[in-house]
Structures are given as structure tokens and as C-alpha cells.
């Protein structure tokens, strides 16, 4: 059992804290947001994330997990201090490290002797060195990037494919590795610069993979092949793999857009621009616009002048309420600028009312009287849509299925026209 303090209770911090508590460590999660900390103390989870509530509940009742707004006293007794702080993008795409620097300034001189500061947030390459410099070698600094996905954060944390430890001081690195000793996965020790680079390049590679799939969907469309069949054909090559081959309306979220922009900025500044990543960002932007245009064209072809478009999905992917840089939300906004009657439904997405002109509470309400239905997020609920039921609610018969969820044949047999790139 170790005494651990987690600074920052966002997706990564809260998941890291509650999972480490579930492994038996004594964990304090600290945040300067008093409302959030009060909620967490009452076991109210501010984000929709499978399994998190249960872990927090167990952590609190076992006494292993506590929440506090008092940064200094939370850190003074800790052996390990995880920094899980937000690094939002500046206007030029570079990461804004104000929060990180502010926290470090306040913590200088407050650490227990022998404690270790661990950076989990995605921070620009060289940050571990900068942190060590700010702390004037007072503690060891270890870079330990996190690879969890929103929507499966708890599962991913507890079942990692690798643990990456970037350190100059190997004994500190080994102590951090020991925190994860119950996991059955490779633990990779490297230098801090390489660990920080892995995080950015992994996200950029994944974003590039999805953009490749989305561009392949356009290619398949133009030559008359089926992108789903094509991706299945690719997936059996272990060098390509079967994951992250799903075409969609474009990638988004709180990580890929921010991290790809930061990476291109760092690459440019280093004198070695990463043109593939620059093009991936541009291709994704074009894909979002093309996806919106597909829906607009379908709606403009409708016989009815008072066309109604129903949108299913607002979050950037299924199983999360997060709408940051969500392609679904971007597409909705483009469509709302063209048509007066656009109605949207999402089971969990957190979004300000003013952004969505007309949000309804059920899928049926959205479908009611719709001429065109657009599916933008892959929630399981949408997969279960029945063609006969859809027919009984909709006025029109066009579905733009940008997540490739529906059984096209079943819907076509009922007189629907199901549109998607390359399918």
C-alpha cells in the first residue's frame, strides 16, 4: 500500500485515482473545483463513464479514496504525486501549460523527501525536464503517459496493453512500475523524452489510421466497392490489425484534435515538419464537411419543402457524454445553418442548449415526421433501430448512416434508401 495523491480529477485523474485505490493504495484526489470535489465526496460522478461510479463508491466506503481541494496538505504526506492536469490547446495549437506551472509553483518545497512526481497528462516533449527544473531536483520526476480511452476508461486502466515509464532515475522509475505490479502487461522503461514522444505519436498514428479508413471509404464509393468488406479484408493482416478500422464521420474528442495539432507544432518548431500528420488533420476536416454535405444533399432532394432532418448522436463517440471537438456536433451545426427543422437526440451527450436548436429526449421523438435521418454516433441504442418501426414514425425514407450501424439490406427491403460512403 502506498500513499498517492492525484492532482486533477478529469477523465484521467479520476480514473487513475479510483483504480489505484481499488488496487489497495491510499489515494487522495485533489482539485481546485470545490463543487466537483463536493460532488465526488458524495459519490456523484461528473462524467458518464462505465464502472467509475462503482469504483469511487467502493473507494470511499473502504476509506482508500478521499477527495480534497487542499493541494498542499494532500501532497505533503504523499509518496507518489500524479499530475493529471488539463493541457488545452492555445490558439496556435501548442499545449497551454499554465495550470501545470501554477500547480508546480505552489508545490515547490512542499514534497516529502523521497517522493516522486509522475506526469500522466499529455505534455509537450521536454516537459519532464522542465518540471524537474522548476522543482529544482527536489523530487524525482517520472513521465508515465496514460493510454485509456473515454467510454472504456476504467477497463483500459485496469487492463493496459503496456505501461510506459520515462525516467532518468531508474530507481524512481522502478518504484512507479511497482504500483502497477498486479498488471499482466509489458512495462517499458525509457527516457522521459521518448515516453513523451510515444504519447503524441501513438495518438497521431491512430488518427491517421482512421483518416486512412475514411478516405478509403470515399475511394470505395467512387469505384463501387464496399468499405466494410474491404476493411475486413485488410484486418486479417496482423501488420494492419482489426482495430480502429471503422469508417465514420471523422475523428474528434478531447485528445486526437489537440494532440495532432500540438505534434505538428512541435515538429515544425523542431525543423522536421510531419506532413503526414498535417495532412491527416486536413483530411479529417474535409471528411467532416463531406459528411455534412451528404446529409444536406439528401435533405435537399426531399420532396417536401418543409424538410425535417433528424440527427442521432451528438457525443464524439459512443459510451461517453463528451462532445468536445465532436464531429457529430460539428455536422449538426452545419446542417442547422442550412435547414430550419433539425431535431437531435443523444442518450447522454453533455452539450449547452444554445448549441442544439431542438433536442429531444427519445429516439422515437427524433424520428417522428423526419424526412431524413442521420446517424452520427455509434450508440448501441441506434443499432437496434427496427425498419418497420422507423417507417411508422418517419415521413421520408432516407437514412444517412455515417457510423455504418444498420443492416442496409433489411432497411432497403422496407423501401429505405440508406446512404454512406462506400457502402
Binding span for ligand UGA by CB under 6 A among 69-77, 134-142, 147-155, 273-281: 147-155
255 is catalytic: yes
> How many residues bind to ligand UGA according to rule CB under 6 A?
20
Question: What nine digits make up the cell of 32?
Answer: 481546485
Per-residue binder mask for ligand UGA (CB under 6 A), 287-326, x = binder: -----------------------------xx---------
> Contact at 8 Å (CB) between 124 and 267?
no
DSSP 8-class letter at 142: E
Of 73, 103, 108, 78, the C-alpha closest to 17 is 78
Among 90, 218, 244, 357, binds ligand UGA (CB under 6 A): 244
Q: How many residues does the chain have?
A: 423
Element containing residue 333 per DSSP (H, E):
helix 327-338
| Dist CA 299 CA 36 (whole Å) | 42
Helix axes 192-223, 256-270, angle to 10 degrees: 110
Write down the H helix ranges in 26-167: 34-41, 52-62, 71-76, 98-107, 127-134, 153-158
Among 4, 81, 148, 344, binds ligand UGA (CB under 6 A): 148
Q: Does 397 bind ligand UGA (CB under 6 A)?
A: no
Q: How far is the CB of 279 from ligand UGA (least distance, A)?
A: 17
**Which one, 371 or 401, has the nearer CB to ligand UGA?**
401
| Dist CA 196 CA 259 (whole Å) | 12
Binding span for ligand UGA by CB under 6 A among 146-154, 157-165, 175-183, 221-229: 146-154
Among 251, 345, 379, 404, binds ligand UGA (CB under 6 A): 251
Where do we find the cell 479529417? Answer: 284
Per-residue binder mask for ligand UGA (CB under 6 A), 149-188, x = binder: xx--------------------------------------
Binding site for ligand UGA (CB under 6 A): 122, 146-150, 203, 206, 210, 244-246, 248, 251-253, 255-256, 316-317
Known catalytic residues?
255
Amino acid at each position: 500500500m502506498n500513499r498517492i495523491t492525484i492532482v486533477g480529477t478529469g477523465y484521467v485523474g479520476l480514473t487513475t485515482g479510483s483504480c489505484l485505490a481499488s488496487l489497495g493504495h491510499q489515494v487522495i484526489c485533489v482539485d481546485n473545483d470545490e463543487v466537483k470535489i463536493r460532488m465526488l465526496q458524495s459519490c456523484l460522478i461528473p462524467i458518464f463513464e462505465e464502472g467509475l461510479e462503482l469504483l469511487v463508491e467502493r473507494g470511499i466506503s473502504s476509506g482508500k479514496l478521499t477527495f480534497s481541494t487542499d493541494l498542499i496538505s494532500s501532497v505533503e504526506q504523499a509518496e507518489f504525486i500524479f499530475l493529471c492536469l488539463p493541457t488545452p490547446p492555445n490558439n496556435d495549437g501548442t499545449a497551454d501549460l499554465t495550470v501545470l506551472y501554477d500547480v508546480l509553483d505552489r508545490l515547490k518545497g512542499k514534497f516529502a523527501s523521497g517522493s516522486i512526481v509522475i506526469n500522466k497528462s499529455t505534455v509537450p516533449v521536454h516537459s519532464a525536464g522542465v518540471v524537474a527544473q522548476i522543482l529544482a531536483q527536489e523530487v524525482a520526476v517520472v513521465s508515465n503517459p496514460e493510454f485509456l480511452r473515454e467510454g472504456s476508461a476504467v477497463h483500459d486502466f485496469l487492463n493496459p496493453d503496456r505501461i510506459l515509464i520515462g525516467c532518468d532515475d531508474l530507481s524512481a522509475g522502478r518504484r512507479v512500475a511497482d504500483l502497477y505490479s498486479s498488471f499482466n502487461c509489458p512495462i517499458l522503461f525509457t527516457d522521459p523524452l521518448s515516453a513523451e514522444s510515444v504519447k503524441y505519436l501513438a495518438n497521431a498514428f491512430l488518427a491517421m489510421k482512421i483518416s486512412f479508413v475514411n478516405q478509403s471509404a470515399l475511394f470505395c464509393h467512387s469505384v463501387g466497392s464496399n468499405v466494410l468488406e474491404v476493411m475486413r479484408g485488410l484486418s486479417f493482416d496482423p501488420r494492419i490489425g482489426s482495430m480502429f478500422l471503422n469508417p465514420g464521420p471523422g475523428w474528434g474528442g478531447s485528445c486526437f484534435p489537440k494532440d495532432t495539432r500540438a505534434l505538428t507544432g512541435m515538429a515544425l518548431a523542431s525543423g522536421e515538419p510531419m506532413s503526414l500528420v498535417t495532412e491527416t488533420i486536413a483530411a479529417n476536416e474535409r471528411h467532416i464537411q463531406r459528411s455534412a454535405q451528404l446529409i444536406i444533399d439528401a435533405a435537399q432532394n426531399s420532396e417536401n419543402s418543409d424538410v425535417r432532418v433528424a440527427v442521432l448522436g451528438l457525443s464524439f463517440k459512443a459510451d461517453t457524454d463528451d462532445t468536445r471537438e465532436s464531429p457529430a456536433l460539428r455536422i449538426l451545426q452545419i446542417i442547422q445553418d442550412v435547414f430550419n427543422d433539425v431535431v437531435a437526440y443523444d442518450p447522454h451527450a453533455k452539450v449547452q442548449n444554445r448549441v442544439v436548436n431542438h433536442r429531444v429526449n427519445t429516439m422515437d421523438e427524433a424520428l417522428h415526421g423526419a424526412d431524413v435521418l442521420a446517424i452520427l454516433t455509434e450508440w448501441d441504442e441506434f443499432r437496434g433501430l427496427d425498419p418497420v418501426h422507423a417507417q411508422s414514425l418517419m415521413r421520408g425514407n432516407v437514412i444517412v448512416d455515417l457510423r455504418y450501424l444498420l443492416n442496409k439490406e433489411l432497411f432497403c427491403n422496407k423501401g429505405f434508401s440508406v446512404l454512406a460512403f462506400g457502402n
